[in-house]
Amino acid sequence: MMEPLESGGANIPISAGTYFIVMDLGSGTYTISPFSSDKRGMFYSDGQNLEIESIPPFEDGYAVTKWTNIDSNGNQGSDSSGNFVDTDIPLIRLAEIYLNYAEATLRGGGGDTNTAVSLINQIRERGFGGSSGAISSGDLTLDFILDERSRELYWEGLRRTDLIRYNRFTNSSYLWPFKGNEPTGVGVDEYRNLFPLPANVVAINSNLTQNEGY
């Protein structure tokens, strides 16, 4: 919730601790969020710029270190140099099933809200290393689940379908850098929710019609 900002920030009500304070200079408001100790955010930032100004160079944007070529005991895989990953690709994880249950419950699937909150908190307890990231039933919304899926499942090949399911992949309600080939992101045509059929397959099968827009 945005709060009015007094001159000099005198009315920012925080006690001891570390916080993120985001100020909107245009509207003269601010938001406060406690510093997150969520260990799921695994990024390589040494020598990297946070913001992506162009593609390439590789130095623009933080690199993800979620997948490494070592096991839970620190043993390297088949690449002794440790440069390449040869671990199995997860097709579905228990955490995703928990997130699916919570989303289905909110979408009217007949689940139990308290159970959904408990399952989400199990995921977050692992990520935070304790109960500091626990949520209550009032926090459990579809938007929260979409954000939590991004924190838990990033780089597992699910974000595109998640955004399509939430109707945010193509329109301008949700933007990211270089969406629509624009640095600040723009909405794109709705037909891009579907991939094109391979041209060679359409050419040899007269029963197929190319998806609209391609």
pLDDT tens column, 17-57: 555 555 555 566 655 555 557 888 888 888 888 888 888 87
Kindly state the average pLDDT of the residues 48-76: 82
Same domain, 61 and 78: yes
79 vs 172 pLDDT, higher one: 172
Beta strands in the chain (DSSP E): 3-4, 19-24, 29-34, 43-44, 63-64
Q: What is the pLDDT of residue 2?
A: 47
Q: Which domain holds residue 54?
A: 38-88
Q: Is the pTM of this model over 0.95?
A: no
Gap between the Cα atoms of 117 and 183, Å rounded: 37
**76, 100: one domain:** no
Residue 150 to residue 176: CA distance in whole angstroms? 13
Q: Is residue 144 part of a domain?
A: yes
- Residue 13 and residue 67 in one domain: no
Give the burial string for 55-77 (b: 16+ CB within 10 Å, else e): eeeeeebbeeeeeebeeeeeeee
Together in a domain, 186 and 121: yes
**Bridge partners, residue 34, by sequence:** 19
Residues 60 and 99 in one domain: no
Q: How many domains does the chain have?
A: 3
Do the domain assignments include residue 211? no
Q: Does residue 213 sit within a domain?
A: no
